[in-house]
Structure 1
Amino acid sequence: MPKVSTLTLLKVIIVFGVLLIIGGHTLLVTDSFRDYFGIYSFMIGAVCIAVGLIMSLPTKIYLTILLMRNEGKDTKY
Structure 2
Amino acid sequence: MSEDKLITLLKTSIAIGICLLLLGIYLHNFSDYMESLGVTGIIISALCIALGLIFSLPTKMYLTFILVKRESESSKE
Q: What interval of TM-score do these two structures reach, taking the shorter chain for normalisation?
A: 0.7 to 0.9
Which structure's residues are more often helix, by fraction?
2
How many residues in Structure 1 have an aligned counterpart in Structure 2?
74
Give the superposition deviation at 1:76. 3.2
Q: Once the two structures are aligned, what percentage of the paired residues are identical?
A: 39
Q: Which runs of 5+ in 1 are unaligned?
A: none
Q: How does 1:20-39 map to 2 (within 5 A)?
A: 20-39=20-39
RMSD: 1.8
Q: Provide TM-score, normalisation by structure 2.
A: 0.86
When normalised by structure 1's length, the TM-score is 0.86
Gaps of 5+ in 2: none
Structure 1's consecutive aligned runs of 4 or more residues displaced over 4 angstroms after TM superposition are none
Q: CA deviation at 1:31?
A: 4.3
1:1-77 equivalent positions in 2, closer than 5 A: 5-76=5-76
3-state SS in 1 of match to 2:76: coil
